[in-house]
Chain A
Amino acid sequence: MKSIKNHLSLVVALVSILFAIQVFIIVDRAINAYKENLANNYSVIVVAHSSITDAKFKTLDTLVKSVTELSPDNVIKRLNTKIDKRNIELLKVTLPKFYKVKLKHFPNKHEIRRLTKKLLNHRYISKVENFSYNHDSTFKLLLLFKDVITVFTISVFIVTILLILKELRIWQFTHNERMSIMGLFGAPIWLSSAVLFRLAIVDAIISSIVIFGIFSSIASSPWVLEQQENIGIHINIFDAFGDFFMLFGIAISVSVVLASLIVIGHKEEV
């Protein structure tokens, strides 16, 4: 019972840290996926006096992914009852060219300003419509959401570190006595602190397994899959290999640092 209690305190603290980090990762992935969706739906309209090739557009800014020339036929169709065929052909030649420019990713405010400026610097381009108002409000909402999650993660991290520091004092008290006694019989520091490091590593493994269980079940939950379907975003909630090993690495690092602090703070009894 006492042994379970010894493990539980650090395991709970580590699970909280790992949980907060994985939530942050999920939110980040969701925002990136949403940004990709927005980028796919978002485009800049460019008006030019003469034709500009796809390749030329791409040299103007690295953000440009693809360019589609908008056909003037729809506009002309409305007029063709009153204008003869010859004039229509003439009109087609004199009408400015309209281009729909798709971007590689959803741009931020500065990128969009830079892109507009670069496009307008081209001698053929007379107007650029970037729909910046719509763009700004959506993007700001996304950033706000990400900021809220970042604050949440940092808060959990700080609170948990404070809990761990409190735990550290209890551990120091518990392990100091054994380490001192072993030291009195000539045990080198690696041997007298071996139990402590073993405990820390076991706790890191337990907490990683707990987190693996929690997020694996969340990732395969029908409710979560349905929600993803509803909002049109498909993200990997938990990568059983990459995420697990990253979280395991964090858990090992935190617990080993904790154990090292105890060893460094250890003072021999006189």
Chain B
Amino acid sequence: MDKVIVAENLSLAYTDNETIINKINFSVNSGSFVFITGASGSGKSTLLKSLYGALKPQEGSLIVGGVEIKGVTKSKLNFLRRHVGIVFQDYKLIKEWTIEKNIMLPLIINGYEKTVTQNQVDSLLKHVRLKHQSGKYPLELSGGEQQRVAMARALSHNPILILADEPTGNLDDYSAGLIWNLLEGANTQLKTTVIVVTHNIPQTMTIDYKHFHIEYGSIHEVN
């Protein structure tokens, strides 16, 4: 099976003095569903950031979707990011754009045609139960609704990899349920690799998944 992510002796740090992740080795197969758990401050989000190239390895090697993150050029990084869907803990929606346009963002960047874009956005808005709010701006929505928009945006361009950072952290059960359904759907139906950073793995998971736990800068697989 193809590997989407391969990390070898990977160390991550924000400053030279303080290493957050220390020489870890792990890999993720294409089409798998992965949970990364750990206590607050353990380095889960830091690891996720390195997967979309926002943080470069201090040491070791990290290959995502065939792209070596260490020393990656801006154009290659952009190419990788165009094939990845990211769900952020703080949503990162563009405030001055409507939610419809926010969902369109990856499709615009990938140069999809207008009709394809519109159909895809309409379908996603229905899936996240926000069709009636398409013309609203992010700040007019609740936190749960904003996270559903962020989820729809991450799925809009059928990425090869979805990275989600605490996607249901502060959400009500209804919104959280919708998010998990969408992630499971993307994984089972579209064979998209999904990596979720979270404190707790939901009890309702119906599919097979891999579980990595981060502690004291090291990572280990939980069986």
> Footprint of B on A, CB under 8 Å?
177-178, 181-189, 191, 268-270
Contact = CB atoms under 8 A, between A and B. Distances in A.
A157 B204 CA distance: 65
Contacts, number: 48
Given A188-B78, A191-B109, 19 more contacts: A181-B92, A181-B94, A183-B78, A184-B54, A184-B86, A185-B82, A185-B105, A185-B106, A185-B109, A186-B79, A186-B81, A186-B106, A186-B110, A187-B78, A187-B109, A188-B75, A189-B74, A269-B54, A270-B55
Contacts of B105: 181-182, 185
Contacts of B74: 189
A269 B45 CA distance: 14
28 contacts: A177-B94, A178-B94, A181-B92, A181-B93, A181-B105, A182-B94, A182-B105, A184-B81, A184-B86, A184-B92, A185-B81, A185-B86, A185-B105, A185-B106, A186-B78, A186-B79, A186-B84, A186-B106, A186-B109, A186-B110, A187-B109, A188-B78, A189-B74, A191-B109, A268-B54, A270-B49, A270-B54, A270-B55
Contacts of B95: 177
A270 B82 CA distance: 18
Nearest to A269: B54
Contacts of B109: 182, 185-187, 191
A185 B52 CA distance: 9
Contacts of A270: 14, 49, 54-55
Interface of B: 14, 49, 52, 54-55, 74-75, 77-84, 86, 92-96, 105-106, 108-110
A184 B94 contact: no
Contacts of A185: 81-82, 86, 105-106, 109
A184 B92 CA distance: 10
A186 B55 contact: no
B7 to A, nearest CB: 18
Contacts of A188: 75, 78
A170 to B, nearest CB: 14
A39 B96 CA distance: 61
A187 to B, nearest CB: 5
A187 B106 CA distance: 8
A2 to B, nearest CB: 8
- 3 closest Cβ contacts across the A-B interface? A186-B81, A186-B82, A186-B78
A191 B106 CA distance: 12
Nearest to B75: A188
A184 B77 CA distance: 9
A251 B78 CA distance: 33
Contacts of B92: 181, 184
Contacts of B96: 178
B115 to A, nearest CB: 20
A188 B92 CA distance: 18
A268 to B, nearest CB: 7
Nearest to A195: B96
A268 B86 CA distance: 16
Contacts of A184: 52, 54, 81, 86, 92
A189 to B, nearest CB: 8
Contacts of B86: 184-185
Nearest to B156: A185
A245 to B, nearest CB: 32
B141 to A, nearest CB: 16
Contacts of A177: 94-95
A155 B170 CA distance: 54
Contacts of B79: 186
A7 to B, nearest CB: 13
Contacts of A178: 94, 96
Nearest to B106: A185
B111 to A, nearest CB: 10
A90 to B, nearest CB: 97
